[in-house]
Amino acid sequence: MFEIGDIRIHLINDGITHVDPGGAFGLVPRALWSRILQPDADGLVPMLNLNLYVEAGGKKIVVDTGLGHSIDPKMARITRIERPGGSLLDALARLGVAPADIDLVIDTHLHSDHCGGNMLVGADGQPRPAFPNAEYVVQRREYEDAMRPNERTAATYFPVNYQPLMESGQMRLLDGDSDLAQGVFGHVTRGHTPGHMSVRFESQGQHALFACDMACYAVHFERLGWMTAYDVEPLETLETKRKWQAWALETSAIIMFPHDSVRPVGIIRLDDNGKPTLQPIAVDFA
Ligand SMILES: [Zn+2]
């Protein structure tokens, strides 16, 4: 947990999967990325799935709902998932927070590793909201793209994660940058997807940013030209990162990277050679 003014931000490890580095590093040669992240014996690299539990202005907020509350055994085997702390709901329970207490769920985007925990499947096999009293928010553009997946995006856009919330009126669509709670702001950070959103926190002159997949790993924020192969608009990602990296240098904001198990949190500063470099911050997961 850390505080930004009077906002409390708890980090939740929803699980570490092991993935092909071709996805994580795209065009970056192995000789370069392997200096940052060592592949294991199978050639895979670890991928954290970071969610947040935030207390701001009297509201209880979840940012991204992770992989889901029960993982398909085949997927668990393929990705060799490590979930020492259980799922998002287990972490919330350790914090003394019941699902019914959550006021707001912010979906940064609708890829299944970020909103897989929006719903729970009941004993009757029917999906129901994991957070029954929460308003869920997502960018309208993201929802529309997720409802019309193409051959490249269909493997990660699963309507069961969001369509029932929309139909029941529990999900609200955002049109661009939005105030979401006291000191909590959603910003469209286009590139990973056209409707991708990052979440900015500001209180008492302090700043933080859940970059989400604008920069999956810290190195993607240090080096503007490095990006994942998952981005559907890579040149938009580049310009989005250029803008937000400059903001981070100016504000000394604490930045959170959703998939980096080694350096999930830190402050970016210029090193002696003028290169943006992350100073990691040691953090505990809830
Ligand atoms: Zn992601």
Q: Tell how far the Cα of 89 is from the centroid of ligand 1, in angstroms.
A: 19
CA 172 vs. chain centroid, Å, equals: 19
Give the pLDDT mean for 229-246.
96
Q: Tell how far the Cα of 259 is from the centroid of ligand 1, in angstroms.
A: 7
Rounded Cα distance between 249 and 221, Å, is: 11
pLDDT, position 70: 80
Which residue pairs from 1-5 have beta carbons closer than 8 angstroms and sit at least 24 positions apart in sequence?
Answer: 1/284, 1/286, 2/254, 2/265, 2/281, 2/283, 4/183, 4/201, 4/202, 4/203, 4/204, 4/206, 4/207, 4/208, 4/254, 5/183, 5/202, 5/203, 5/204, 5/205, 5/206
Q: Tell how far the Cα of 226 is from the centroid of ligand 1, in angstroms.
A: 15
pLDDT, position 278: 98
Rounded Cα distance between 10 and 193, Å, is: 26
- pLDDT confidence of 218, banded at 50, 70, 90? very high
Is residue 265 within 8 A of residue 11, CB to CB? The reply is yes
Record the pTM.
0.96
- pLDDT confidence of 221, banded at 50, 70, 90? very high
The identity of residue 161, as a single letter, is: N
pLDDT, position 155: 87
pLDDT, position 154: 87
Q: Tell how far the Cα of 179 is from the centroid of ligand 1, in angstroms.
A: 23
Q: Tell how far the Cα of 273 is from the centroid of ligand 1, in angstroms.
A: 31
- pLDDT confidence of 121, banded at 50, 70, 90? confident
272 pLDDT above the threshold of 90:
yes
Structure tokens at 78: 């393929």
pLDDT in tens, 182-209: 999 999 999 999 999 999 999 999 999 9
Q: Tell how far the Cα of 270 is from the centroid of ligand 1, in angstroms.
A: 26
pLDDT, position 71: 84
Residue scoring higher pLDDT (274 or 122): 274
Q: Tell how far the Cα of 284 is from the centroid of ligand 1, in angstroms.
A: 21
pLDDT, position 122: 81
What mean pLDDT value characterizes the chain? 96
124 pLDDT above the threshold of 90:
no
Rounded Cα distance between 249 and 54, Å, is: 24
> Among 34-38, 179-183, 184-188, 241-245, where is mean pLDDT lowest?
34-38
241 pLDDT above the threshold of 90:
yes
Q: Tell how far the Cα of 236 is from the centroid of ligand 1, in angstroms.
A: 17
- pLDDT confidence of 2, banded at 50, 70, 90? very high
Helix spans in 49-147 (H)? 73-79, 88-94, 112-115, 140-147
Strands laid side by side in the 7-19 sheet: 2-4, 7-19, 45-56, 59-63, 104-106, 135-139, 171-174
Q: What is the DSSP string of 24-64?
A: HHTTS-HHHHTTTS---TTS-EEEEEEEEEEEETTEEEEE-
Name, in order, each residue with C-beta under 8 angstroms of 179's C-beta and a sequence gap of 6 or more. Answer: 185
Q: Tell how far the Cα of 272 is from the centroid of ligand 1, in angstroms.
A: 32
